[in-house]
Structure 1
């Protein structure tokens, strides 16, 4: 019995060892099979996003970058660019997405992408060779170029106001509008000096009686003698006065009930005031720091009951007051149904009018009072302000039209 027990014990030990060994061998075979079935794919790595600025007035800039790296088993393989522009190309203003791919011999493909952002550099001083916005990268239509319309443009560099181009007397401009009380439009408040047209506001020492209305303040209105129409680009460089009165640049249409075309339209390119206060209507509390435009279809007595006053507007609130510096306000009256607006050479917004804006008008610059921003008792600037404080200044007005190249 003793010998039998010893034999069984030896057999059991041998069998157990075999079981353990089989178990270990089985695990090793499984791992080896798993490793041998794993697919090795290529990898690819792109550069970080690139952001650059074009030269002043340029539409493109040369950009170089490191080509992406693709590896297979730590060995480099070829890459192919499938979108964007190659290193060393002229990149346009805006964002260009560059995508690269790599494919191994088994058909496994990987891709990566990065962007190149080219920012336009705003020209510090607009030239008089083309509209400011088009100097900053906006392109004219194919085969066209901008040519200045001299009769609707003025650099105001002379010593005297050009009465051949502009009306400054409301009695002669064909509108016969003398202002919105209490500010009276008077030609004597318009002058030219130091390269600017100046429209100066004032408070009268004694109220004036004119057309059975009492006027306490003075402003002015200037209108072009030549007509302005769609298809042209209009711009001015203007610095607002610091009073409650307005500073404006717009196009007024002369249509009224006596004309065959009775629609009364108004295209406001810029309308702001120099100062707001507690008495200013709530909706106008930002009008001293604003770029604001309108396309208005006015209601007239001769309109039908179905006709209503309608308007489409664009607004951009500013961080600066309109009297802090000169701003360039621009408008491309592109067609009767599309009007684009620009601030300091950059596109801001578009307006789609509620009716076709297909009627010619007159460039207008009116410095006036509003009942929604009334003269207030605290507004002592009329007594204490300097000439610059009280004056809306126009460095220049320029109008452009497209012609064939």
Structure 2
């Protein structure tokens, strides 16, 4: 009898072991990812004098067959102060089995355009207490409508008195300059077939615009510009004429802003950040009747955003022949003091979209053939010039 009971108990034990092992084999691993959905992008416009905005948003939730936790992996938390530009907020859902899912949305903070009745200053205003700024109409343009103002600007390099048709392989062509949607547009292109002009071969088209009125020391110059997305430049500067016979002997150049839309592996090492830069300079170019070597005194501010990511306001107070102050979106950024010559001559506001040998055409870049109008276009919302007068 005892022997039969032992056999019976052993049988039950074996059945239990068998059932336990069989259950392990039948267990299915959890591979189902959580489901997490983020909201749509948030766009906030703030006053032209502000630099950030408080943004609240609901934290994304996740669903899962066994439950999941949600954590934020990048961006700023709800209720934080978001800076000008785009901040990407990314969230991750993770369940107990380690399955992951993510989602993202952008908070885009933009500034409203500054007032058009005075220069754009944020924070410290450099205006002398006994002075006021008055707009110089012949050197200012809002670029409203659809007509280029030939009374204020040259767009044909054959008529502006400089006779510069471009730096190969970029050719200046007036047909690339238009006015639409409240902007002055310079749209670059790659020619279907190279063009030969003055025994020089050109493969790409850009443009140059110059003021007909003279720019003078003491005035404040600003433009609201968005760069194109190509290897070509986007610029705002003052050019000066020179003549060894009639003068002036000095060949000056005052660069307010000079950047490119794209850099790549063949860009010169010193220019690797020129797609996100506020680059200014003062030049005294070499001339047979003047200096034998070009002299320069630069100033720059590195940006956290690409120049083509949005419109920036670039400002320059040509305060004196030896002091020039530069502003970005209304804030003082850098200065050039004691340039390589006294900047006491009169010049011309210039906007040139050109090519450079230090940022050569990149054959791997197909933006010239597949890019949109926005990709290929440097846009100027406005150009404004101001002079100081007694109150």
Normalised TM-score (structure 1): 0.68
Q: Which residue of 2 aligns with 1:131?
A: 119
Q: Which residue of 2 aligns with 1:41?
A: none
Give the alignment's Cα RMSD to 1 decimal: 1.6
Query: Which is greater in Rg?
Result: 1
What is the DSSP-based 3-state SS (H/G/I as helix, E as strand, rest coil) of the residue aligned with 1:392? strand
Spell out the pairing of 1:212-291 with structure 2 (5 A cutoff): 212-291=199-278
Contact preservation (8 Å) 2:48, 2:114? no
Q: Which residue of 2 aligns with 1:339?
A: 324
Q: How many angstroms does 1:319 deviate by?
A: 1.0
Which residues of structure 2 form unaligned runs of 5+? 1-46, 51-109
Spell out the pairing of 1:365-376 with structure 2 (5 A cutoff): 365-376=351-362
Cα distance in 2, alignment partners of residues 273 and 232 from structure 1: 26
What is the DSSP-based 3-state SS (H/G/I as helix, E as strand, rest coil) of the residue aligned with 1:389? helix
Spell out the pairing of 1:97-246 with structure 2 (5 A cutoff): 124-133=112-121, 136-246=123-233
Q: 2:288 aligns with which of 292, 301, 305?
A: 301
Contact preservation (8 Å) 1:57, 1:137? no
Contact preservation (8 Å) 1:56, 1:136? no
Count of residue pairs brought into register by the alignment: 285
Q: How many angstroms does 1:123 deviate by?
A: 6.5
Q: How many angstroms does 1:124 deviate by?
A: 3.4
Q: How many angstroms does 1:136 deviate by?
A: 4.5
Q: Which residue of 2 aligns with 1:71?
A: none
Cα distance in 2, alignment partners of residues 258 and 215 from structure 1: 32
Cα distance in 1, alignment partners of residues 228 and 123 from structure 2: 28
Describe the superposition over 1:139-175 as per-residue Cα deviations: whole angstroms up to 9, x where unpaired.
Answer: 4112110000000000000211000000000000000
Contact preservation (8 Å) 2:48, 2:113? no
Q: How many angstroms does 1:56 deviate by?
A: 6.8
Describe the superposition over 1:168-193 as per-residue Cα deviations: whole angstroms up to 9, x where unpaired.
Answer: 00000000000000010000000000
Cα distance in 1, alignment partners of residues 246 and 348 from structure 2: 16
What is the DSSP-based 3-state SS (H/G/I as helix, E as strand, rest coil) of the residue aligned with 2:363? coil
Contact preservation (8 Å) 2:177, 2:186? yes
Q: Which residue of 1 aligns with 2:310?
A: 325
What is the DSSP-based 3-state SS (H/G/I as helix, E as strand, rest coil) of the residue aligned with 1:218? strand
Contact preservation (8 Å) 1:123, 1:136? no
* 2:363 corresponds to 1:377: yes
